[in-house]
Chains A and B, each alone.
Chain A
Amino acid sequence: MRLSIEKKDLIQHIQHLAAIVPTKITTPILTNYLIEVSAETNSIQITASDLDITAIVKFPAAVIEGGTIAVSARHLNEIISSMPDDVINLWKNEDLLVIQCGKIDFKLLCADHTLYPIIPVTNLKGAIKMDAELFQRMVNKTSFAVSSDTNRAVLTGVCWKIFENEHLMAATDGRKVAEIKVRDNFMQNQEMAKDSEDNIFGDGKESYVEKIIPVKTLSFIQKIYNAQIKELNLVMEHNKMMFAYGEYTVFTNILEHKYPEYQKAFVHDLPNCLIIDREKLKTAIRRVALVAPDDNLRTRFEIDSDRFEINTSNRETGDAKQFMEDYSYQGKPTNVSFNYKFMLSILEAVDTDKVKILLGSPKDPLMIYNEMNPENQELTFLLMPLRS
């Protein structure tokens, strides 16, 4: 194996792959990249995998001689990013990968590449084509709300539910919900016939498909998003998915559970409605929360039509309050306590300059919306309050 490549070309393609390499080492070979170099296609293909997710990137390089190696992912990333902006030569010398750039020489010990798990074959037959920007937007609006509790695996993924004329993504950790619904019949425009064997709606009994995609997979796709590349191809199998995007291919297991019925928690008839500038609200919450209690991050709205106070009180540090101006409020006086970090994460995901917050009693959830929804889209956020 022998090839030459510009440093910036190489680093650009491997910088995100590192996120796939497992941190908990259960299978030592997975701490390596599998690097396959082909002289016929003049390309290099690098694979990282944690068994649940396998990410592959394939891009052009000046190949003199083909070959396959496995080499420490962390070291390769660190070595390549430390190199000057110049051409890097890589070749295999017995058990060593030589990385040479100008007067710099590294020799990296190779692992036994035959131990690397078998990589699935990229087959785009029957792939669903989707607008990459829309997919990216849907992930951006929801993935922050996933749970990190590995005991409830199903909540560590984002639920993607596809109906015939609309589809939605949703995530929740039981304390907050983020959902984006898009009216789009992209499924009908697909090449595959609805009644073919590959029909993702299965045998026609179900009117929708539900796939729970691990958040790790989605963050990787977020990282490799490139506004220049418009089309995202995806293939769904019952417990796996494949994403093909530009030079990248991602195979991922999906979480095989029934996603909880979070919609039941949505309250549609909350009596009070607050509309306020989103940036001003964020700034005020951040400021007041400087002294919020560390354990539950409790911050509180006290509101009626002529007074809106954001406050917090902390037995150990002190308290803070701010009166808000320039807001519109319709409804009865009420108050509600919430975890300010959750609130900020939701306000971050809202698109419009002004945010619409519906409130009820101190025990009711807060329903948070864009002031105006974009065409054909509906964003819904829910925040469960803190017991007052």
Chain B
Amino acid sequence: MKKIIHVDMDAYFAAVEIRENPSLKGKCVIVGGPPNSRGVVSTCSYEARKYGIHSGMSSHQAWKLCPEAVFVHSSFNIYKEITNQIRDIFARYTDIIEPMSLDEAYLDVTENKVGIEDAAVIARRIKDEIFDTTKLTCSAGVSYNKFLAKIGSDLRKPDGLVVISPENAQEILFSLPIGKFHGIGKVTAARMKKLGIHCGADLYEWDLKNLTKIFGKAGQFYYQVVRGIDNRELITTWEPKSISCEHTFNTDIFDMEDLTGALKLISQRLSERMIRKNLAGNSLVIKIKYDNFELQTRSCPLPEFTCDAQTLYKYAQQLLVMNWDCKRAVRLLGLGLNKLDNRECGSDDQLTLL
């Protein structure tokens, strides 16, 4: 049986901001765009969560819910630095680490570098070391697969440590509200509630055939996880399938020149990211979000693998001209490259004459 730990930092970005500026302590701290912008809440402190604020909500809406909240801009460089410190701590215990984002990761400690049998002991030590190094708290879930470890870390936030063993797994799963199942989103949860599935125990009653009939392939996943079965391995290396950049305008844009201007900047940013990651792509995607939030994406092949800003801009402009419904204002513009190849940009050595 495997031993998996899921570590999830508590209100990560907000906690970091409070650490950097202790005067924020105890206040509703919201990391994200200011309320008069079109930004969204990226993270908020537990105090703010009491007002019903959650990540992904628009900053304006959050401000309405809690006008005294302190809005802070995100400082990604600090977050990244701290994340590296945390990953160094993980690496003392195991090399099988699957980082999910800056603030969460799975660790496989079945075989570990410190020779400790009990994964709960390792989790305790990791939590302590993280706190000693960063003064930040995290929640950890310990179990025999990824799904249960994730459930565990979520169960007693903040600063929690929950061990889910094969003996108590079923009991925990039965009482778990359906929306708390990782992999069951808002929409699926609503559908399930309509079917009378409110918690794990209800889901358990359904057989595989009916679940797959209603939810397709995901039905099989639901059937297994409610029985505590999850055979997914940790994915330690990860290759990006596409890289993209986008920009939300402060006000909706109606003007072709403004749009192409923005597109030029986005092309440059995309190109910089590609170069940094040493990647080139040969399929360009444009994303146009209109003022009514309707999203349009169109793609075109590129003649060769590239990450050159000029080339990207040239094709992006064509895509924009061909696809922008010029009667409608644009809220967001994005560009992405697909079909990536791990070659250096400019390894297409062919010189051109035009």
Contacts and interface: CB of A to CB of B under 8 A. Distances in A.
A385 B353 CA distance: 10
A45 interface: no
A21 interface: no
B348 interface: yes
Given A151-B303, A151-B318, A365 B353 contact: yes
B315 interface: yes
Interface string B151-163: 0000000000000
A151 B346 CA distance: 20
B353 A175 contact: yes
Contacts of B302: 151
B347 interface: yes
A149 B303 contact: yes
Interface string B282-304: 00000000000000000011110
B349 A337 contact: yes
A262 interface: yes
B351 interface: yes
Contacts of A40: none
A382 B351 contact: no
A363 interface: yes
Contacts of B343: 295
B354 interface: yes
A172 interface: yes
A185 interface: no
A17 to B, nearest CB: 29
Contact of B353 (A147, A382, A386, A388): A382
B351 A384 contact: yes
A337 B302 CA distance: 24
Given A151-B318, A296-B348, A298-B349, A174 B300 contact: no
Nearest to B305: A295
Q: How large is the interface on B (under 10, 10 to 19, 20 to 34, 35 or more residues)?
A: 10 to 19
Interface string A122-158: 0000000000000000000000000101011000000
Interface in A334-353: 337, 339
B352 A174 contact: yes
Contacts of A295: 343, 347-348
A115 interface: no
Interface in B209-263: none
B350 interface: yes
Contact of A384 (B301, B347, B352): B352
Contacts of A147: 303
Contacts of A175: 350-353
Contacts of B351: 175, 363, 365, 384-387
Contact of B350 (A177, A363, A384): A384
A382 B352 CA distance: 11
Contacts of B350: 175, 296, 339, 384, 386-387
Nearest to A385: B351
Interface of A: 147, 149, 151-152, 172, 174-175, 177, 260, 262, 264-265, 295-296, 298, 337, 339, 363, 365, 382, 384-388
30 contacts: A147-B303, A151-B303, A151-B315, A151-B318, A152-B303, A172-B353, A172-B354, A174-B353, A174-B354, A175-B350, A175-B352, A175-B353, A177-B353, A264-B353, A265-B354, A295-B343, A295-B347, A296-B350, A298-B349, A339-B350, A363-B351, A382-B353, A384-B351, A384-B352, A384-B353, A386-B349, A387-B346, A387-B349, A387-B350, A387-B351
Given A174-B354, A264-B353, A384-B351, 13 more contacts: A151-B300, A151-B302, A152-B303, A172-B354, A174-B353, A260-B354, A296-B347, A296-B348, A365-B351, A385-B351, A386-B349, A386-B351, A387-B351
